[in-house]
A = this chain, B = another copy of it.
Amino acid sequence: KPHSSDWDRWFVMGLIGIVVGTMGFLMHQIIDTLFELKWELVEIYIQHGDFLTTWMYILGIGLAMVLVASGLVVFLCPSGSPSGLPEVIGYLNGASLRYIFNIRTFFGTFFSCALSVSAGLFCGPEGPMIHVGAVVGCGMSQFKSDTLRISLPFFTRFRNSADKRQFITAGAAAGIASVFRAPVGGLLFALEEVASFWDIKLAWQTFFCCLVAAFTTEVLSSSFGGFHYQGHFGFFKAEQRIIFWVKDLLDMSVLAFIPTIIIGIIGGLLGALFVSLNVRINKVRMKLFNAVKHKFFRQISKLLETLLLLVVTMTVTVFVPYFFSCTQDPEVHTFINSSEHSVSDHIPWDVSEYNCPPATTWVGPDGVINSNYTINQAAALLAQNGKQGIMLLFQRGIHEKFGYPALFTTLVIYFIISCWTAGTAASTGLVVPMLYTGALFGRIVGLTLVSLFGVQNDEYWAWIDPGLFATIGAAAYFAGVSRLTISLTVIMVELTNDVQSIMLIMVAVMVGKTVGDYFNHSLFSSLLNLKCIPYLEALPSVVHGKKKVNLELFSAKDVMKKCEIIHLKENIFSIAQMLNNTTYNGFPVVYSPGPGQEEVFLGSITRLELYMLLSNRQIFQSPETSNTSIPLLKYQQVTVEKVPDEGQMNSLLAKYSTDSQYQQLFINLEPYINKSAVTVQSHFSLHRTYAVFRTLGLRHLIVVDLQNRAVGVITRKDLISLQLEKKLIYLDVGKLDSDEELIK
């Protein structure tokens, strides 16, 4: 029977889902409310064409928001920069990153993100929500906070790094599930991009977590709009739930694959360009800020950059539409006059109307209501928040609502500014800008088709609809930047409910990713590099010149470092000295199986475990004490996640490593070492070594010789592609260029 009562794990998963779902709901509500308030305030000025006042108002409000948003990040988050997806990915890969899951980061990220989006920066809430979800996953499962100095006595069995990682994965998945209302897409995103290690059991628990998160967001959103109770508790309208719902599925011709491939190529090219530009901008930014020596001034200059960004964004948003005239909205604003669709006299004002004359409606002779509703195309595209913009672009049946000038202008502006925005000192997400930019050029391609072939109403040609190609463009560009495949396809289907176009989306994603991969790595991977987070790819890829290096030709000893050795019964003095003199985190423990025999490798012990052992004096023994009289420490006392008090530890080490009395005191390490530590022999091929290290998710790997004597250690950092390249270049250059196939 496969049944096992893991109820506490499921309970925590559910809890994470509920909390993340609530956070996602709050995020949406805050953004919608603030965004609407802001534009309502200036409605009157825009309508009268008073753009300067509009600009001042919008900018003023925006500056206040961004000041807080950026301040939260600069002063509250670790190292003064917004941490997001790359950090979470790196952590789940096994890198040790500190402070990214504490409660200050949580609040900093959440509010910074909500305010940045509300202020009108070209960004979305997705990336930060993943991080918020991950923090919730970490916090809810651990039931303690070092920052707040609380530690509740619940679920202590999850206080180990393996379980923690699982809950963080689930939380991150729930973050996307909640913000996109795409439970399966979120799950797959987490599995494809965020998590490095997972199994079917984790997938299954994450599935539950995502479901709960999406459900919570749904239930709350169904009842509230802008924090007002609307009286529809628990009623999920398809209209609301499926964010970019496409109502008209189009019968498709095989010819549609031709523009799709073109869009895929453009998406890949633009995506690669975005990645390379963004990395360059971030490099310049880092250099500039690091040039500012004083910490406080550095923080201030980061703040100022964000403010400058807002000024530029707002100026563009308000003044660019000025150069566009009002155009008739081709959307059907004529209703059959029935009791159900009563036309209210006052249609609520929308930003897209800009300074166009207010619409009037009249009843035609055939009982049909007409309207001369006009919009400013550029205002519709620029001043809306990204989500509404995407909805407009995805809409079908409105072939020529947006013309080339508006689409092109917005595309250029959005591409450049969103590229600048990603990486500023405010918590900003990239998904909405990606979808939006993609939808823009997708619609341009679609519009070109319409220009060539006209608006088609024949069922065989109905697929020539810019709305369809906007969706495809969004997928292609998203793929070009993020290089996601399966999860992206599922997310697009969940967002649009358009299974009919799934093959077009898949082709666009394939082409976009392939073209992008030709030029550079994905954005997340590039950012991991840039941020110097040691990330181990699933497969090693070392490039020399333009060729891939065959790692089968190298062996484990080519990359290993010399290691320090501890004896099974070691004196305190040596241990303390070794800990002081090295930075390794794992040490091989050796012993001699018989008198006169050589010392062989028995198991490994970590730095933290040694710290914890050293801080328990009662287990020290003099040479003559028998092992049995020494008390044993409990598992929880030895295996911790960090040193409780670092200062005290250091002074303890200093004492042990100077006072010679500790040369006569020993610890018997036997009960505490990990005897199941996997080793490789020094002649192991490097490829295989990498596979063992990565597949088993190790942090350090002891290298032994044929007699099982510990001769070296390999750590994560030794296996990062860049490090490998450096090390191997020193070795035989002939091998690096070799292509020959070789016997194992």
Indicate if A478 sits at the interface (CB-CB under 8 A): no
Let me know if A192 and B184 touch, CB within 8 A.
no
Indicate if A236 sits at the interface (CB-CB under 8 A): yes
With A211-B503, A692-B696 known to touch, is A707 a contact of B236 (CB < 8 Å)?
Answer: no
With A676-B684, A696-B691, A706-B600 known to touch, is A199 a contact of B539 (CB < 8 Å)?
Answer: yes
* CB neighbors of B among A223-243 (8 A): 233-239, 241-242
Let me know if B1 and A520 touch, CB within 8 A.
yes
With A236-B253, A519-B1 known to touch, is A507 a contact of B211 (CB < 8 Å)?
Answer: yes
Indicate if A734 sits at the interface (CB-CB under 8 A): no
Let me know if B252 and A490 touch, CB within 8 A.
no
Let me know if B234 and A255 touch, CB within 8 A.
yes
Q: Which of A100-108, A307-315, A377-385, A493-501 is the contact stretch?
A: A493-501
Which residues on the B side are within 8 Å of A743 (C-beta)? 632, 634-635, 638, 671-672
With A214-B503, A485-B204, A743-B672 known to touch, is A184 a contact of B708 (CB < 8 Å)?
Answer: no
A184 to B684, CA, bound (A): 39
A701-744 CB mask vs B (1 if < 8 Å, else 0) is 00010111000000000000000000000000000000001111
Indicate if A602 sits at the interface (CB-CB under 8 A): yes
A503-540 CB mask vs B (1 if < 8 Å, else 0) is 10011001001000111110000000000000000110
With A238-B251, A678-B678, A708-B707 known to touch, is A497 a contact of B494 (CB < 8 Å)?
Answer: no
Tell me the minimal C-beta distance from A277 to chain B in angstroms: 17
Task: Give the number of chain A interface residues (Cβ < 8 Å).
Answer: 100
Tell me the minimal C-beta distance from A466 to chain B in angstroms: 19
A673 to B250, CA, bound (A): 59
Indicate if A2 sits at the interface (CB-CB under 8 A): yes
Indicate if A87 sits at the interface (CB-CB under 8 A): no
With A684-B675, A744-B673 known to touch, is A521 a contact of B2 (CB < 8 Å)?
Answer: yes
Residue on B nearest A239 in the bound complex, by CB: B251
Residue on B nearest A704 in the bound complex, by CB: B708
Which residues on the B side are within 8 Å of A211 (C-beta)? 503, 506-507, 510
Residue on B nearest A598 in the bound complex, by CB: B707
Residue picked from A218, A234, A520, A706, most chain B C-beta under 10 Å: A706
Indicate if A215 sits at the interface (CB-CB under 8 A): yes
Which residues on the B side are within 8 Å of A288 (C-beta)? none
Let me know if B234 and A251 touch, CB within 8 A.
no
A624 to B676, CA, bound (A): 43
With A218-B503, A500-B241 known to touch, is A674 a contact of B234 (CB < 8 Å)?
Answer: no
With A236-B251, A518-B3 known to touch, is A678 a contact of B675 (CB < 8 Å)?
Answer: no
A520 to B1, CA, bound (A): 5
Indicate if A593 sits at the interface (CB-CB under 8 A): yes
Indicate if A128 sits at the interface (CB-CB under 8 A): no
Out of B543, B706, B741, name the residue touching A1 (CB < 8 Å). B543
Which residues on the B side are within 8 Å of A629 (C-beta)? none
A22 to B743, CA, bound (A): 39
Out of B192, B494, B681, B689, name the residue touching A502 (CB < 8 Å). B494
Let me know if B208 and A234 touch, CB within 8 A.
no
A503 to B216, CA, bound (A): 11
A460 to B231, CA, bound (A): 12
Tell me the minimal C-beta distance from A507 to chain B in angstroms: 7
Residue on B nearest A2 in the bound complex, by CB: B517
Which residues on the B side are within 8 Å of A602 (C-beta)? 706
Tell me the minimal C-beta distance from A203 to chain B in angstroms: 6
Indicate if A70 sits at the interface (CB-CB under 8 A): no
A240-266 CB mask vs B (1 if < 8 Å, else 0) is 011000000111111100000000000
Let me know if A506 and B692 touch, CB within 8 A.
no
A368-407 CB mask vs B (1 if < 8 Å, else 0) is 0000000000000000000000000000000000000000
Let me know if A499 and B507 touch, CB within 8 A.
no
Let me know if B506 and A183 touch, CB within 8 A.
yes
Which residues on the B side are within 8 Å of A4 (C-beta)? 541, 548
Indicate if A656 sits at the interface (CB-CB under 8 A): no
Indicate if A144 sits at the interface (CB-CB under 8 A): no
Indicate if A486 sits at the interface (CB-CB under 8 A): yes
Which residues on the B side are within 8 Å of A521 (C-beta)? 1-2
Tell me the minimal C-beta distance from A61 to chain B in angstroms: 36
Which residues on the B side are within 8 Å of A683 (C-beta)? 675
A219 to B253, CA, bound (A): 9
Let me know if B671 and A676 touch, CB within 8 A.
no
Indicate if A172 sits at the interface (CB-CB under 8 A): no
Which residues on the B side are within 8 Å of A215 (C-beta)? 503
Tell me the minimal C-beta distance from A479 to chain B in angstroms: 11
Residue on B nearest A743 in the bound complex, by CB: B635
Which residues on the B side are within 8 Å of A494 (C-beta)? 493, 499, 502
Out of B218, B251, B518, B674, name the residue touching A744 (CB < 8 Å). B674
Let me know if A493 and B499 touch, CB within 8 A.
yes
Out of B242, B460, B708, name the residue touching A499 (CB < 8 Å). B242
Out of B2, B539, B593, name the residue touching A541 (CB < 8 Å). B2
Indicate if A695 sits at the interface (CB-CB under 8 A): yes
Which residues on the B side are within 8 Å of A620 (C-beta)? none
Out of B218, B510, B600, name the residue touching A208 (CB < 8 Å). B510
* CB neighbors of B among A660-691 (8 A): 671-676, 678, 680-681, 683-685, 688-689, 691
Tell me the minimal C-beta distance from A594 to chain B in angstroms: 10
With A242-B499, A539-B201 known to touch, is A234 a contact of B250 (CB < 8 Å)?
Answer: no
Question: Would you list the 10 A-B pairs with minimal beta carbon distance, nearest first?
Answer: A234-B254, A676-B688, A708-B708, A497-B499, A236-B252, A238-B249, A238-B500, A676-B684, A676-B685, A211-B506
The 27 listed contacts between A and B (C-beta, < 8 Å) are A1-B517, A1-B518, A1-B520, A184-B486, A184-B506, A187-B486, A188-B486, A192-B203, A199-B539, A204-B485, A204-B513, A207-B506, A234-B253, A235-B252, A235-B254, A235-B460, A236-B251, A236-B254, A238-B500, A249-B497, A593-B706, A600-B706, A638-B743, A675-B684, A676-B689, A676-B744, A692-B696
Residues of A within 8 A of B (CB): 1-4, 183-184, 187-188, 192, 199-201, 203-204, 207-208, 211, 214-215, 218-219, 222, 233-239, 241-242, 249-255, 460, 485-486, 489-490, 493-494, 497-500, 502-503, 506-507, 510, 513, 517-521, 538-539, 541, 543, 548, 593, 597, 600-602, 632, 634-635, 638, 671-676, 678, 680-681, 683-685, 688-689, 691-692, 695-696, 704, 706-708, 741-744
Given A4-B548, A691-B696, 11 new contacts (CB under 8 A)? A184-B493, A188-B486, A204-B513, A234-B253, A235-B251, A235-B252, A235-B254, A237-B251, A238-B500, A678-B678, A695-B696
